[in-house]
Structure 1
Amino acid sequence: MQFNQGRALVIGVANYEEVRRLPEAVLNDARDTADALKSPSYCGYPDANVTVLTDGQATLAGIRKALAELAAKSTTDNTVAIFFSGHGTRVGSGGAMTSALVPYDCRRSDLTGTTLSESELSAAIAAIKASRVLVIVDACHAAGAASLKSDLGEVGDDGLDVGFDEKSLQQLASGTGRVIFASSRATEVSRVLRGERNSVFTTAILAGLKGAAGSAGDGTIRVFDLFNYVSEAVRQAVPGKQHPIFKASELEENFAVALDLGGTKSLAPRYAVRERTLEQIMSDLFPAGPTDQQIWLRAGGDVANLTLGGTGRSQWFSALRLLSQGGGGRNITRESLIDEALEEFPSHRELAALR
């Protein structure tokens, strides 16, 4: 079997010309992700549909060309995955500050002119005709790699204001069917544990793609389920230190990102299965999101703690993930939310079964 509609661009940069180098795990992340996508035992992407750029191939011109080719070849029937592992930086100042991905040939004397800005990357993503696009950004290695996992110098010694901020991630997610995964919050780092082949984040991505995220029963791995798995796996690996980010603005479909051909063929972890079911039910009953009929507030939650951008489905996804991590308000629980919903829909058997 092949996931014939799948196309991918995978980029990894560790050994920069001028900018401080990163651990070998960054290149392993890119290569291993590409291998998993192309594997007939795992994700089933056709070999010809996966482009890989590492180090000297990942120049600014090289990345631009690959993005343009991806846009030219993609159709509305495609699912497109873009993976970047390397440095991210903030450029500009004040209200004009934005984020950018750092290519192999970045020049410290001209960061604005030699990096791939959020606006340019957003435009490149918008040019892709595919109706389903997943962008995975692992661009916050710098602080963690330098100060925790290697002897490559101190943070900022090459003039980079490291990281990729959440405002820029939200801009990348603009448009129907666009989803962004980022490895960590803007104030955190993407961790590489000593002696491990991959970063903590990509270790979870790879496990999810190889079957641990579980399928929806149709032989595919779907975007919400993959992120649910990755988020929980990272949380367990480095408790309280790294929190992957999910961004989407116009997303209703829990679309397939790959075939589910590998792994143990066991069900997804119980937390993921339960949360997915409640998410689907709440999205049906309260389609505008957690503020619909004030259901979150009535269940004891604090709406101020929620991310309310995007569609009702994506709001429920984020809200229930926050609730599973102990957030969302002091008095709200999974049980109080279900009980409050049952006040509105007392005959809903599926909902009652979750109590």
Structure 2
Amino acid sequence: MATKESILSHLNWLQQQAAADSEATVLVYYSGHGWLDNATGKYYLIPHDVEPFDIPNSALPADTFTEALRQIPAQRLLVIIDSCHAAGMATAKNTPVETRQQPYGHPSAGASLRLPNNFLPTALPKELIDKLKQGTGRAVFTSSTGEQQSWIRPDGKMSIYTFHFLEALQGAANQPGDQVVTVSNLMNYVGKTVPDSAKQLCQAEQTPFFDFATEDFPVALLHGGKGMPQQGWDEVKAEAQERISQISNVSVEGNQSQMNLSGGSTNININAAGDISNVGIS
């Protein structure tokens, strides 16, 4: 369960794993609510166990999250924040919810947390992105820009951004014969497909943001090291999307699970506060 304590505990575990492997590549993925307190200027990630009437003490401050990430001594660290869900991706435990009927894809479709006074759903602020990317081998992706929202697919199971990111992680942007998925592969693919899908499915604007001060680096092996087949993405697309469907079904059920992508190279931990809480690449 992606509670505040669990998220920080898993980040501590990643720190220990990276400390034991000088060549480690770490990918951390948060998908869920992200709220800015207009009164204080503080940004919060909203975990599963948040108390809606006590956000400052029960949510995960972005500064705390950032500091935990900075303690991970990995040679390469990719952080993805899919956090501008106004509602719809998670509800707090035993919390009354406000239900509004909205078109498919709208972040507020279905049962949702009511946004507290003085809080604004927004993408991760630029100053926090700058802190996250400090150091060598750091890259930060966010699913939207400024006050844009991160839109949900019509089936309600995951965000548009997460869906296309998982496609890219399995080689959607790669060429036949490629052996690895790189940061630039991910960036190029979601940078094109997310705005197109948001416009087509939700009649909305959503522009992913990327910031890194490092050379391009690999984040996953393609198909267990076998590489992209001769026919490219078209040959593996159906299988890849079936894996994504399996992941989304587990996520919607609210269980914690570990699934395998790319034939043994990528482990994904799914928790109930969003789509994916952390991803370990080995």
Note whether the superposition's TM-score is higher than 0.5.
yes
CA shift in 2, pair 1:263/1:158, >3 Å:
farther
RMSD of aligned Cα (Å): 2.8
Runs of 4+ residues deviating >4 angstroms: 143-147, 157-160, 215-218, 262-269
Supply the distance in 1 between the matched residues of 2:54 and 2:41 (Cα, whole angstroms).
Answer: 15
1:107 alignment partner in structure 2: 51
Percent of residue pairs identical: 30
- 220-229 or 163-172, which deviates more: 163-172
Q: 1:195 offset after TM fit, Å?
A: 2.5
* C-alpha distance in structure 1 between counterparts of 2:54 and 2:113, whole Å: 21
Write the distance in 2 (CA, Å) between the matches of 1:216 and 1:175: 33
Whether contact under 8 Å (2:145, 2:208) holds in the other structure is: yes
User: Structure 1: 5+ residue runs without aligned partners?
Assistant: 1-56, 270-355
The one-letter code sitting in structure 1 at the alignment partner of 2:37 is V
Secondary structure of 1:211's counterpart equals coil
Instruction: Tell me the number of residue pairs that the alignment of Structure 1 and Structure 2 aligns.
Output: 209
C-alpha distance in structure 2 between counterparts of 1:142 and 1:151, whole Å: 12
Q: Which stretches in structure 2 are left out of the alignment for 5+ residues?
A: 90-99, 235-282
1:245 paired residue among 209, 216, 220: 209
Q: Relative to 1, partners in 2 of residues 1:158 and 1:106: Cα closer, same or farther, differing over 3 Å?
A: farther
Q: Aligned-pair distance for 1:102?
A: 1.1
* Higher helix fraction (1 or 2): 1
**Cα deviation, residue 69, structure 1:** 1.1
The 5-angstrom pairing of residues 10-49 of structure 1 reads none
**Shift of residue 233 of structure 1?**
1.0
Q: Distance in 1 between matches of 2:16 and 2:197?
A: 39
Query: For residue 62 of structure 2, what is the aligned residue in structure 1?
Result: 118
Give the alignment partner of residue 139 of structure 2, picking from 175, 179, 182: 179
1:334-345 aligned at under 5 Å gives the runs none
Q: 2:196 aligns with which of 236, 258, 264?
A: 236
- Corresponding residue SS for 1:192: coil
Structure with the bigger percentage of strand: 2
Q: 2:216 aligns with which of 244, 254, 259?
A: 254
Question: Whole-Å Cα distance in 1 between the matches of residues 184 and 176 of structure 2?
Answer: 11
2-side partners of 1:113 and 1:77: how far apart?
36
What amino acid does structure 1 have at the position aligned with 2:82? Answer: D
Q: Which stretch of structure 1 is more off in the superposition, 172-181 or 81-90?
A: 172-181
Which residue, out of 76, 80, 83, partners 1:132? 76
Residue 36 of structure 2 corresponds to residue 90 of structure 1: yes
Higher relative contact order (CA 8 A, sep 6+): 2
Query: Aligned partners of 2:85, 2:188: CA distance in 1, in Å?
Result: 22
Shift of 1:215: 5.4
Distance (whole Å) between structure 2 residues aligned to residue 104 and residue 84 of structure 1: 12
> 1: distance between equivalents of 2:74 and 2:84?
27
Asked if structure 2 preserves the Cα contact closer than 8 Å seen for 1:80 and 1:134, the reply is yes
Aligned-partner SS, 2:72? coil
Does 1:79 find its partner at 2:20?
Answer: no
Change (3 A) 1:191 1:264: farther
Which residue does the alignment assign to 1:353?
A: none
Secondary structure of 2:53's partner?
Answer: helix
Q: Over alpha carbons, which structure has the higher Rg? A: 1
Pick from 173, 178, 191 the counterpart of residue 213 of structure 1.
173
CA distance in 1, matches of 2:36, 2:3: 18
1:224 corresponds to: 184
Q: Per-residue displacement from partner, 1:203-244 (whole Å, max 9, x unpaired)?
A: 111111111121595500000121111111112212361111
Question: How far off its partner does 1:98 sit?
Answer: 2.5
Cα distance, 1:62 vs structure 2: 1.1
Partner of 1:60: 4
Partner of 1:193: 153
TM-score by length of 1: 0.53
Paired amino acid for 2:210 = F
Give CA-to-partner distance per residue, 1:68-109, whole Å, 9 cap, x none.
11101113310001111111111363xx51312111111223
